[in-house]
Structure formats: C-alpha cells, structure tokens
Structure 1
Amino acid sequence: MKNRFYDLRLITGYILAHALMYFTFHDRAIFWYIFTGSLLILITFAMFQEDVEDESSFFTYIFIGALSGILLYSLFWLGVQAFDILNLPFENSIKKLYRWFAPSLFWQYLALILVAAPGEELFWRGFVQKRLLRYFGPLGSITLAALLYSLVHIYSGTFILMLAAFLSGLMWGALYLWKKSMPLVIVSHIVFDIMIFIILPLK
C-alpha cells in the first residue's frame, strides 16, 4: 500500500510538470515558446521512464484516433451550445482562452501538432497514467491521471481550461487503457486540436 505514495519517478515528473506549466502560463507574450520547450522536456522525461506502447494496427489507430478526436470535439461543441442555452457565464472565458493561448503563427500550429499533442499524451497517459495503474487500477488511474492533468492548468487562471483538460483526460485515458496504443491517442489529440483551433474554433 505505501508504495503508491513513494513513487519518486512519478512525484518528480509531476513536480517538474507543475514547474514547467507555471512558467509556461506566466507570460502570455512568450507562451508558445515556453510551452513548446516545456513539452519537449516532458517528452524526454517520459521516454526515459516508460516504454511506448503500440498494440494497434496502423489502420486501427488512424481510424479510431480520428473518430475519437472528432467525437471529443463534438462533445465540447455541444457543451458550449448548452452554456449558451442555459445562459452560463463561460462565453467570455472561452474567448479569452483563444485570445491568450491559441496559435496564430505557422510555427505555432506546427508546434501544436508535432510537439504539444504528442508530448501531452506521452507524459500524461504514457507515463503518469501508466504508473498510476500499478497502484490504483484501471478506473482509479484514469480518473486520477485526468485530475492531475487538469490541475497543472491552474496557472492559466481559467476554470474552463481545467475542466476541459479533465474531461479530455478522461477520454484519452480510457482510450489508452482500452487500446494500449500511444499513436492512437496522439492521433486523437491531434485531430481534436485541429478541429478546435483550425477548422471549427469554439469562440
């Protein structure tokens, strides 16, 4: 029982993630520079700790990855529509998020697709959730990993981003546990990001 509280690799990785995300969100003017560098550090850390799992065929991870990414975007879109119908005060928060953190330059879109999406999945699902699975079982590891993922977004100063991270973390966590394929969840994350930032932004 006590081992779950003394996983030094997990604790070190999580402290590192918090430190990096604190500096990432500290100055919006250089957000994309720090964010990209932070994810590269987390990718490196995760790759040294855990093997990358891929138990799905190319067709499977492309098809299910793309489909799940579109499904997650659709759920977010429905959520925004529900906010409008219920007159909940989240519209300004969503607009601020896009204004503050959405990519606007070509290299930022490349960083989003080639670094941010793979980096978050490799670290949060491929490292954090995988280690939590040893101590808390399937449901506990997915839920706790999603919660920890959402908590590092506290430095953004917006509850809506923390909520979005938690909900997406639950889906990607379940997907990873189900298919045991890191490429699949990376494709899902990339498709979701393309939908929400390029094709059909929610602002």
Structure 2
Amino acid sequence: MRKLIADRRLLFGYILAHLFIFFTFEQEKVFWYIFTATMLVLISYSILDETEPRTSKRFHLVWGIGSGAFIYGLFWIGNTLIDLLNLPLSNQITALYKLFSPELTWHYLVLFIIIGPGEEIFWRGFVQKRLLTYTNPWTSILLSTILYASVQIHSGELVLIIAALTGGFVWSILYAWKRSIRLVIISHIIFDLLLFGLFPLR
C-alpha cells in the first residue's frame, strides 16, 4: 500500500484527470471540444507498453459486444425503475441527455474513436493496471471504480456518479479478469453506441 501511495505518476495522472474533467463540465457550451481535448491529453499521459495475452479477435468481439450490451441493459432497467417510481433522477437524466448527447456527426466520431476508447486507456489501461501491481484484483476493481466515478463529482449530477460506478465496476472486472485493453474498449464503444446512437433512454 505504501508503494501505491508513493506512485507519483499514478497520483499526478489522477489529479490531472480531475482538473481537466472539472474544466470540461465548467464549459458546457463547448463541452465536446473540451472533452475531446481532455481525453487526448489523458491518452497521451497514460500510453504504456500494453502487455496482454494474445487472444483471438473473435474473443474480444464476442465478449466486448456481450458486456457492452449487458451494461446497457443495466442502465435500461435502472431507467425504467426510475420512471416507474417517479424518482427525481428522471429529470436529471432528461436534462443530461439534452446537454451532453451527441448531435453532430463529428460528436459521434470522437465519442467512438477518442472519448470511449480514451476513458478505457486511462482508467483501465493506466490507473487499474498500476493498481494491479500493488493490490489484488478485487481491490484494484473497487479502487479503480471509485476513482473513475469520483471525477463525475464535477458534473454536480448524482445520476452520472451512479452511472460511472455501474459501468466502471463491470469494465474493471473485465480488465482484471482478462487484462485486455482491447476488450474493454470494444465493450465501451458498444455501450456508447446503444446508449447514444441506437436506443437512447430519453
């Protein structure tokens, strides 16, 4: 644990993520520009030699599609329960879709090519990968999930924190299980495609 606390590269990367995400949510009018730039910075910071077992592309595709659809299913169930119970989170979800859903073609392009993959490269391929060198897999899953969700505090929206905890937990399990950044990237892209492209919840 002392080695974990002393990992300056990990600590600075985490602080950097908070600073950039804070600035991103402060600039709603140019959200897509700032968020894209933020992920490019975090990708650049976290690029490491990715040593993962050689598994077939079919493996990544099947598990990526399945897990991405599974996470979307969790969100669909949660959204349905929120509407049925008439919880105040329903208004938050509607407002967030209005503010941050992609509208232009380039929004979708950067979402699938930069933002989704970038989040996995940084939070799983960098943060969780380093956590795994100091802790056991389940501790790395819990810590990386909490760290991933913590930056959503800057949005001021409880529903985004819950969403990050849910998705982050599944992606962290997948990464701890197979140590494959390609797998979680495919999963994240499929999730984004369903949530923002094919079957939006609002």
Indicate yes or no: 2:118 matched with 1:119.
Answer: yes
Partner in structure 1 of residue 128 of structure 2: 129
Instruction: List per-residue Cα deviations over 1:72-124 (Å, max 9, x = no partner).
Output: 10111011111122222111100111111111110010000000011000000
The one-letter code sitting in structure 1 at the alignment partner of 2:109 is: L
SS in 2 for 1:30: helix
Counterparts of 2:175 and 2:105, CA distance in 1: 30
- Aligned residue runs from structure 1 range 56-71, under 5 A: 56-71=55-70
Q: 1:59 to 1:16 in 2, by over 3 A?
A: same
Question: Distance between the aligned counterparts of 2:159 and 2:72, measured in 1?
Answer: 15
Cα distance change on mapping 1:88 and 1:102 into 2, 3 Å: same
CA distance in 2, matches of 1:158, 1:139: 27
8 Å contact kept, 1:4–1:135 = yes
In the alignment, the residues of structure 2 paired with residue 106 and residue 159 of structure 1 have an alpha-carbon distance, to the nearest angstrom, of 28
Off by >4 Å, runs of 4+ in structure 1: none
Deviation of residue 54 (structure 1)?
A: 5.3
- Shift in Å, 1:2: 1.8
Q: Distance in 1 between matches of 2:12 and 2:114?
A: 21
Q: Quote the Cα distance in structure 2 between the aligned partners of 1:196 and 1:64.
A: 18
TM-score (ref. length: structure 2): 0.96
Deviation at 1:15, TM superposition (A): 0.6
Cα distance in 1 for partners of 2:183, 2:36 equals 21
Taking structure 1 as the reference length, the TM-score comes to 0.96
RMSD: 1.2
In structure 2, distance between residues paired with 1:193 and 1:139 = 26
Aligned mates of 1:159, 1:41 — CA distance in 2: 26
Kindly indicate whether the alpha-carbon contact (under 8 Å) linking 2:27 and 2:34 is maintained by their aligned counterparts in 1: no
Identity %, equivalent residues: 47
CA displacement at 1:50 relative to structure 2: 5.0
Match of 1:36 in 2: 36
Distance 1:56 1:169 in 2: 23
Partners of 1:172 and 1:185 within 8 A in 2: yes
In the other structure, the counterpart of 2:149 is 150
Mapping 1:74-113, distance limit 5 Å: 74-113=73-112
From the superposition, tell whether residues 30 and 88 of structure 1 become closer, same or farther in structure 2 (CA, over 3 Å). Answer: same
* Residues 52, 126 of structure 1: 8 Å contact kept: no
Check conservation: 1:61, 1:187, Cα contact below 8 A. Answer: yes
C-alpha distance in 1, partners of 2:7/2:176?
A: 21
